[in-house]
Amino acid sequence: MVVCHINGTMGKHHFGVKSKNQKSTADLTHWAYYINRELSQLEFCARVLSTAQDGRLPLLERLRYLSITSGLLDEFFEIRVAGLKQQALHGAVQRQADNLSPEEQLEQIAVKVKSLVVELYATLNDDVLPQLEAQNIRLLRSSQWTDVQLNWLKRFFLREVAPIISPVGLDPAHPFPEPANKNLAFIVTLEGRDAFGRDSRHAVVQAPRSLPRVIQLPENCGGGRECFVLLASIVRYFVSDLFLGMKATGCHQFRVTRNSDLFVDEDAVGDLMLALEGELPSRRFSEAVRLEVAEDCPPEVADFLIGQFGLSEQDLYYCHGPVNLGRLEAIPELVQRPELRFEKFRPGIPERLSRSESIFETIKTGDVLLHHPYESFTPFLEMLQQAAVDPQVVSIRQTLYRTGPDSAVGAALVKAARLGKDVLVVIELRARFDEAANIELANALQAAGAQVVYGVVGHKTHAKMCSVIRREGRRLVHYVHLGTGNYHEGTSRAYTDYGLFTNDREFGQDVQKLFQQIAALGKAGKLKALLQSPFTLHSGILELIEAQRQKARRGKPAIIQAKMNALTEPILIQALYKASQAGVRVDLIVRGICCLRPGIPRVSDNIRVYSVVGRFLEHTRVFCFGSDENRLVFLSSADWMDRNFFRRVETCFPLRDEKIAQRVYHESISNYLSDNTQAWELLNDGSYRKTKTRGKTNSAQRALLAALSERG
């Protein structure tokens, strides 16, 4: 079981808290009341790794969780560690609420990640791979190759690898090459003289990205088993064939991770798209932040690589296996063994929608809620497709943050524009790691005649909203879709999210104002129903928290319950502490980062924080204030983070239909608070403890699958 312990336990320190019968005078800004953001994120990685260790899960899914953990660490270094290194380099003195300097954070991160990496590879080598082998699925090392397999791999190497791989012998005329970000490479030590009679000591071999990292052997080579070989094993075994006349005395895989956070001075560029297109290639070759090497890499070779990349021993990570575990995700995709995967299911479609020919006529009769992935994303696509050909539709407004390749959403909008509809699309070009796909879609939309804008300078447009305007008689009627997640068909099958269809007049007017604000950069004015960042969302949430605090002070029952991906904003955390001190019960379900420290005597002892890690990535944002008939329920595109409140365009909207509000509360709050199979509780020392099963078991995600999906 993985448990990462965050720095700084509370111990006996109460920092100004008086005795039990006295009024609390705790300084709620004190650093001891805050968990470090980066270390909290590593705790989430640890919970995902722990899921890979859960023997109750299907075996190929456990392998997939190992790949996911590797990918999470990759992004953590590309963005978070890279940012800390930049702060340290420039002597940043400003600290976050936890009061750790960049240097202190980097030191603690290295300790935590090195421990995680050891456990990651131990889980792979000592647990998952042996169990896969027992199921006749083998990842073969070169020492295990049979003669038949060796001959096949030799031919594969000569036919597929050797012609396109380019070894570089190092000398003054051949300086050390710059491997691309996260690309597989090898450092080779050599004996003998090269073709020009010189002694060669080192060479670098880079594996082109066009080559698969996992190769499946044909059936006649497997001896009745499904056998796989890593590209790294093939290159290492045959590497001497790349250096004729010399002998390779060592071949060690390595991988360098680079800063992947793009920087564009938006105030200084005339065209954001052109500026981003110019910056994208630099992501592959920017500053190094981490070096991974094979465990058998000699210290002198590792030191040589560290020097080449300008790193330190702190940035070096030894891997007891492939340096990119994320590539092992290919195996579950190649192996057709349903019994080793999660049970397939078909997303459900609410009866009102399945019986309706016109989604607009259905929305007229009342709001419709979809809970993905348990319910299908198809109705939203159908709304766009119907709008594209509906002669009554005069306008479509849409925000796009992530869409994915070959987006059906993008195709419907292109079709609508070509058919003469007035189409306005707000595309966030700066959606991290999706910049290239979003630029391509923006070009396609503009070519079709749609009006495309790229959001607001200095603020990413993260709101999820779509408005279809129909002329019905003498009126223009707004049909609105608001969501908690991206308009991305792929993530709608893997992330939990809500989407609400409504023709509520005030919602329609508010959304129209927001689109005008983003496109024309004018003031939206006072909204009637929605809260928005960066203007009213932060203050609005604080007011809702304060209202519950005042109820508690008057001796009335008061409760705050919320579900989100991350909680980091200090002022809001202080407001929750004050609510707790007043007697408000606070239940938080925070998937990933949580900087609030629960369970501090007379400060946060009324606050409980849980995290659920399951089959689907938890992504819904649900905020509830009050109880029973007085409960207010909101959905939002925003987490409770500084960036979402102050540096993004976000929406938060109330659920006005009482039945829908009750449904959301049941599905995403009470259901998750009663999860005793996949839930973790945050302790006040910053570590997480898996909740124990007492009585009847409940898995929130499995309960929703049973209730909402159509079993495949």
Catalytic center residues: 462
Say if CB 576 and CB 607 are below 8 A apart: yes
Q: How far apart are CA 652 and CA 560, in angstroms?
A: 16
Distance CA 37, CA 79 (A): 13
What letters, b where the CB count within 10 A reaches 16 and e where it falls short, cover 318-347?
bbebbbbbbbbbbbbeebeeeebeeeeeeb
The answer to whether residues 704 and 675 touch, using CB atoms and an 8 Å cutoff, is no
Q: Could you tell me which of 627, 625, 619 has the C-alpha nearest to residue 654?
A: 625
Q: Do strands 622-625 and 559-564 pair parallel, antiparallel, or not at all (unpaired)? A: antiparallel
CA distance 573 to 568: 7
d(CA 618, CA 610): 12
Residue that the structure tokens 């993530």 belong to: 491
**Two tokens, residue 574:** 């202080």
CA angle 255, 296, 302 (to 5 degrees): 55
Under 8 Å between Cβ of 125 and 321? yes
Q: Give the contacts of 22 (CB within 8 A, at least 6 positions apart).
A: none
d(CA 129, CA 63): 9
Which residues, including other chains, have CB under 8 Å from residue 464's CB and lie 6 or more apart? 399, 401, 482, 483, 484, 485, 486, 487, 637, 651
User: In the chain, how many H helices and how many E strands?
Assistant: 23, 29
Nearest to 380 by CA among 364, 404, 360, 365: 360
DSSP state of 481: E
Q: Which helix (H) or strand (E) holds 296?
A: none
Q: How far is CA 8 from CA 12, 34, 686, in A?
A: 12, 9, 8
